Chains A and B, each alone.
Chain A
Amino acid sequence: MSDVVISARGVQKSYGSNHVLQGLDCDVGRGITGLLGPNGAGKSTFMGLVLGLRPRQGGTLNVLGVDPDQSGPELRARLGYAPEHHDLPGDVQAADLVRHIAQLHGLPRRAATERASDALWQVGLGEERFRPIGTMSTGQRQRVKMAQAIAHDPDLLLLDEPTDGLDPVQRDDMLALIRRVGSEFGIDILLSSHLLEEVERVCDSVVILANGVVGHSSALDGLGSAASGVKVELDSDPQPLAAALAARGAEATIDGHIIIVTGHDAVSDLVRDLVADLGLGLRRLEPRRTTLEDVFIEASL
Chain B
Amino acid sequence: MTEARIHDRGYLAYDGPRHGPGRAMVVLSYHTVQRVLGLKRSNWQKVMPAIALLVAFVPAIVFIGLAALLPASNDLDLGDPAGYYVPISFVLFLFTSFVTPEALCTDRRSGMLGLYLASPLNRDTYLASKFVAVIAVLGVMTIGPTLLMLIAFTLDGSGPDGAVDWLIEFGRVLASGLAMAAFWGSLALAISSLSPRRTLASVAIFVSLLVSAAVGDGLAEGAEVGDSFALLNMIALPIETVYRIYGEVNPDGPPIRNVETLPILLTFLGLIVVFGWFARWRYQRIEVTG
Contacts and interface: CB of A to CB of B under 8 A. Distances in A.
Interface in B215-252: none
A72 to B, nearest CB: 6
Contacts of A88: 110-112
Contact of B9 (A73, A92, A118, A185): A118
Contacts of A43: 290
Contacts of B27: 100, 103-104
B117 A53 contact: yes
Nearest to B119: A104
Interface in B180-220: none
Nearest to A15: B287
Contacts of B288: 48, 53, 83
B118 A185 contact: no
Given A76-B119, A106-B120, A118-B9, A53 B289 contact: yes
B114 to A, nearest CB: 5
A81 B120 CA distance: 12
Interface stretch (A107-115, A165-173, A240-248, A252-260): A107-115
Given A51-B289, A88-B112, A153-B14, A126 B7 contact: yes
B106 A106 contact: no
Contacts of B112: 88-89
Contacts of B45: 91
Interface stretch (B18-26, B47-55, B67-75, B262-270): B18-26
B11 A87 contact: no
Given A83-B111, A89-B110, A101 B119 contact: yes
B11 A48 contact: no
B118 A76 contact: yes
Given A87-B111, A118-B9, A160-B289, A106 B18 contact: yes
A57 B289 CA distance: 18
A106 B21 CA distance: 8
Contacts of A181: 11
A22 interface: no
B10 to A, nearest CB: 8
A101 B119 CA distance: 8
Contact of B289 (A83, A90, A91): A83
A79 B14 contact: no
B164 interface: no
A79 B109 CA distance: 23
Where chain B touches its partner, the secondary structure class is loop
B118 A79 contact: yes
Interface string A121-154: 1100010000000000000000000001010110
Contacts of A106: 18-20, 23-24, 120
Interface residue range, chain A: 35 or more
A274 interface: no
B115 interface: yes
A269 to B, nearest CB: 50
Contacts of A52: 122
Contacts of B115: 81, 83, 101, 148
B36 to A, nearest CB: 14
A88 B118 CA distance: 15
Nearest to B26: A103
B2 interface: no
Contacts of A121: 7-9
B60 interface: no
Interface string B80-92: 0000000000000
A105 B16 contact: no
B137 interface: no
A79 B7 CA distance: 26
A185 B11 contact: yes
B120 A74 contact: yes
B118 A87 contact: no
Given A48-B289, A101-B115, A106-B23, A118 B11 contact: yes
Given A43-B290, A83-B289, 19 more contacts: A48-B290, A51-B289, A52-B122, A74-B120, A76-B119, A81-B115, A81-B118, A88-B110, A88-B112, A91-B42, A100-B27, A103-B27, A104-B27, A104-B116, A105-B119, A126-B8, A148-B115, A160-B290, A181-B11
18 contacts: A44-B289, A44-B290, A48-B288, A53-B289, A76-B120, A77-B18, A77-B119, A81-B114, A83-B114, A103-B24, A104-B121, A105-B24, A106-B19, A122-B11, A148-B115, A158-B118, A184-B11, A185-B11
A-B pairs, top 9 by smallest CB distance, nearest first, are A44-B290, A106-B18, A87-B111, A81-B118, A153-B14, A73-B120, A104-B119, A48-B289, A89-B110
